[in-house]
A and B are shown apart, each in its own frame.
Chain A
Amino acid sequence: MTRVRSVFAALSLALTLALSLAVAMPRALVAQQAPAAPRDTLVVTPEGLRAGAPTKATDPALEARTSAVASGLRCPVCQGLSIQDSPSELAQQMRSLVRDQLAAGKTDEEVRAYFISKYGEWILLEPKASGFNLLVYALPVLLVVGGLGFIITLVRRWTVAPALGDASDASDASDRDAADGGENSTT
């Protein structure tokens, strides 16, 4: 059998070489006419970096509110990070805008509404729990509740009343398993 294998492998390698040579010729010719396709340009280029606006250290209550609101807003130039977490420049600017609006007396909800009016609901990292969006909240809950119900009925239906006599042999099973390392392990 080993011989068959070696022959098979050798044949394949030989075929590879032959094919490569056969392919190499026309390819070289074709290559001369085909200029390299330009690479896709990234349309939305993430942040360039310039000197940052100095952050004012202000009162902790405002900072806490700012970070709470900022944690729920999506950074437009990142992969799913919030403007609180993202180190990008736009995120920092948005965060400072959140801080300024809160300091000017806007409520958290009003700040969020401002961003929604500019970027759409997309800017919220957590969809509003209303209308169609309820699905994304309800389905997992339904699955867990339904699954629990299913398991309860299953266990109830399949449980056979234990005979009084053999209660002990089950209960000390783990001790015994441990002692002799048995537990008919299947490895």
Chain B
Amino acid sequence: MIGTLAHGAILVSLAVVAFGMFFIPFAIKRDRRDWVALAYSAVYTNFLLITVATVAMVWALVTHDFSLSYVAQVGSKATPLFYTIISLWGALEGSILFWAWVLAMYAAAVVWINADRPGNLVPYAAAALLGISLFFGILLVGPADPFKPVFPVPLDGPGPNPLLQNHILMAVHPPLLYLGYVGMSVPFAFAVGAMLSGEVLTDDWIKITRRWTLSSWGLLSAAIIAGMWWSYEVLGWGGYWAWDPVENASFMPWLTATAFLHSVMVQERRGMLRLWNLNLVVGTFVLTILGTFLTRSGIISSVHAFTTGTIGYYFLAFIAVTLLVALALVAGTSGRLKDEKRFDGPASRETVFLLNNLFLTAFMFTVLLGTLFPLVAESVKGVKVSVGEPFFNRMSLPMIVALLFLMGVGPALPWKRITMPELKAKLRAPLVGAAVMLAIAIAVGTRNFYALVTFAFVGFSGASNKFEFWYGIRARQRAHGENYLTALFRLMAGNRRRYGGYVAHLGILTVALGIAASSTFRTETEATLKPGDSMTVSGHTVRLKQVWGREEVQRSVIGATLEIVKNGAVTGTIEPKMNFYPTSQQPVPTPQVKSSIAGDLYANLQAFRPDGSSATVRLIYEPMVPWIWIGGMIVVLGSVLSILPARSRA
């Protein structure tokens, strides 16, 4: 019954959404604001109906209603309640439902916040969001119907994918990812609205769009970092990023959104790059859909592929329609967009933003090309090739290094132009920062070229961004005679957007530092230990105490208890485990990490003898990994600072 109710809700929402989508342009044409308001009800009602369906699904999961296909697929009576609830996004159909719900929520929020805005921008944007909702609604009644009845009703289900019920971060990463990913639909909708309403000729639409992009960008950043953290804690190889198609899919829109957040300033300040910004907004949205298509249709991964049915064709059709509509609109608009064509000097912030956009876009293109290349090679040459981590590392490092450098140059340069003495003064601190970091890196034994350059540029840009705060504070102290802290507070309160940006920069630099240090100085060793044996990795010694087994409700667990030994004394234990789920032939590695700000000791149980006589353990020491997670939080803080509206005066 609950399935039927939810199914009905989705069907009605389809009708409501279709009505709203077609009625809005009609209402605008007739110039009837009251009709537009009526059509907005479709947006709210859609949100209400999809909420009903989503709540119904959660209810069905919690009550183990195995008569619904999705529950039969991911549910199990043995699964703890927490993991039962989050299995809402644990498989295809549920994740599409969740997507539709987030989208409906965004659409409702957009209309709610901007309902009183005059002009046709918001109505058209609402229509565009309804159009996207329509697509996801169709998926929910078609190829991704989570409410299909199952008969005979199974008594129990297999439970969610073991990988997804093994760590608490699975409750954090997917919702953040959807919020960020789906949120990119909003800027796209505003771009469509701007082009349809003609507001694209003014720069006002870009201000709304920028904020929505920024919030989605912050969420997507957090999601990417949380995803890295999850891989690190769950996959058992001590890494956090493998350039997997799924990771690439989340990274590509992040890159174009980052490019947009920078280039939008050039449009606001100098009236340039209007068409380019439009393309970035559209491109970011298309990349989210493309990424979903790549990872959900089974087109890319060859070995682990399940038959995913026809959903890929739906996505393909949607991509085609979106591209067609967007191209037609952009082409129709491009002739009317008049850019200012004036630089005041080659050494200016504008130029840095152009370069930043070039490298970010080229980076995105490289990731896209690498992800698609196996498909291209197979279609064109009939050869199976792999494009994996070594390729992406080789190609992206130069671009990452360039971006790290620009991150320091940009804030140091003013708009328009700079004089030579000023440039020298501005670059003094960053150069000192670079020299210090370089010296430290060499002193601790870095010899790899890219690692050295990365450390130097992190020092360069770190100093540059920090000194922006310092210049601001000094100027305030001179002007208002405030003390240091008051000056810092008022400075940031007075221009949150700008200093939020610098905070985000410092966050990214912290992430870069963590990645560079942990990948350069990672040491690992693997050994088969008998109880009492020890192994050592870069000065950290562990001793196998025992190998044990334990039955839990939903799984059985094999663990190895290792004592951390320092100067002959036991200072703690580290306990890597392997979880065996009844539905999976493959044990799920459950490494354990002992974190400190200096670095992580990471142990993974690779194999064991069933009689407990030995365990094979991989022991890794990775310096500064926690800095990545901390850096991620700083990035989020920076984006929050930037979104908060600037109050007139703090």
Contact = CB atoms under 8 A, between A and B. Distances in A.
* Touch between chains A and B, by CB atoms below 8 Å: yes
Nearest to A125: B388
Interface residues of A, number: 100
- Of B72, B380, B387, B388, the most chain A CB neighbours within 10 A belong to B388
- Of B12, B154, B342, B608, the most chain A CB neighbours within 10 A belong to B12
Given A87-B618, A187-B496, A126 B390 contact: yes
Interface in B54-80: 69, 72-73
Contacts of A133: 377, 385
A147 B361 CA distance: 10
B1 interface: yes
Interface in A15-57: 15-17, 19-21, 23-24, 27-28, 30-32, 34-36, 39-40, 42, 44-55, 57
- Of A24, A79, A167, the most chain B CB neighbours within 10 A belong to A79
Interface string B489-531: 0110111111000000000000000000000000001111000
A139 interface: yes
A180 interface: yes
A55 B586 CA distance: 21
A126 B394 contact: yes
B314 interface: no
A94 interface: no
Interface string B290-331: 000000000001011011000000000000000000000000
A61 interface: no
A148 interface: yes
Contacts of B12: 12, 15-16, 19
B155 interface: no
A35 B154 CA distance: 11
A104 interface: no
B94 interface: no
Contacts of A167: 417, 419
Contacts of A173: 414-416
B192 to A, nearest CB: 22
Contacts of B570: none
A98 to B, nearest CB: 14
Contacts of B589: 87
Given A147-B362, A171-B414, A158 B341 contact: yes
Nearest to B39: A8
Contacts of A151: 351, 354-355, 358
A183 B498 contact: yes
B236 interface: yes
Contacts of B491: 178, 181
B384 interface: yes
A57 B388 contact: no
Interface in A109-129: 120-127
Interface stretch (B182-190, B237-245, B281-289): B237-245
B337 interface: no
B604 interface: yes
Interface in B202-261: 207, 210-211, 235-239, 242-246
Given A16-B49, A49-B578, A127 B495 contact: no
Given A151-B354, A171-B414, A52 B608 contact: yes
A86 B242 CA distance: 11
A143 B365 contact: yes
- Of B345, B384, B493, B614, the most chain A CB neighbours within 10 A belong to B345
A55 B495 contact: no
Contact of A158 (B34, B342, B476, B645): B342
Nearest to A173: B414
Given A51-B607, A79-B301, A127-B386, A137 B237 contact: no
Contacts of A140: 362, 365-366, 369, 395
Nearest to B154: A36
A53 B527 CA distance: 10
B44 A46 contact: no
Contacts of A36: 69, 72, 150-152, 154
Interface in A74-91: 74, 76-82, 85-89
Contacts of B242: 79-81, 85
Interface stretch (B2-10, B436-444, B456-464, B630-638): B2-10
Contacts of B490: 181
B606 A92 contact: yes
A11 to B, nearest CB: 9
A120 B381 CA distance: 14
Contacts of A185: 495, 497-498, 646
A81 to B, nearest CB: 6
Given A85-B239, A162-B345, A80 B366 contact: no
Contacts of B527: 55, 57
A187 B496 CA distance: 9
A101 interface: no
A4 B117 CA distance: 20
B610 interface: yes
B48 A32 contact: no
B342 A160 contact: yes
B362 A171 contact: no
Contact of A82 (B1, B5, B389): B389
Contacts of A137: 395
A164 to B, nearest CB: 11
B630 to A, nearest CB: 24
A20 B7 contact: yes
- Of B8, B268, B301, B475, the most chain A CB neighbours within 10 A belong to B8
Contact of B44 (A5, A74, A80, A85): A5
Interface of A: 1, 4-5, 8-9, 12-13, 15-17, 19-21, 23-24, 27-28, 30-32, 34-36, 39-40, 42, 44-55, 57, 71-72, 74, 76-82, 85-89, 92, 120-127, 132-133, 135-137, 139-140, 143-144, 147-148, 151, 154-160, 162, 167, 170-171, 173-183, 185-187
13 contacts: A16-B8, A16-B9, A20-B4, A23-B7, A30-B149, A31-B150, A52-B528, A71-B389, A77-B303, A79-B246, A123-B386, A126-B394, A147-B362
- For the complex of A and B, the 9 pairs showing the least CB-CB separation, nearest first, are A181-B494, A52-B607, A125-B388, A20-B8, A178-B472, A179-B475, A54-B528, A126-B390, A8-B41
Interface of B: 1, 4-5, 7-9, 11-13, 15-16, 34, 37-38, 40-42, 44-45, 48-49, 52, 69, 72-73, 149-152, 154, 207, 210-211, 235-239, 242-246, 268, 301, 303-304, 306-307, 341-346, 351, 354-355, 358-359, 361-362, 365-366, 369-370, 373, 376-377, 380-381, 383-391, 394-395, 399, 414-419, 422, 468, 471-472, 475-476, 478-479, 490-491, 493-498, 525-528, 578, 585-587, 589, 604, 606-610, 614, 616, 618, 645-646
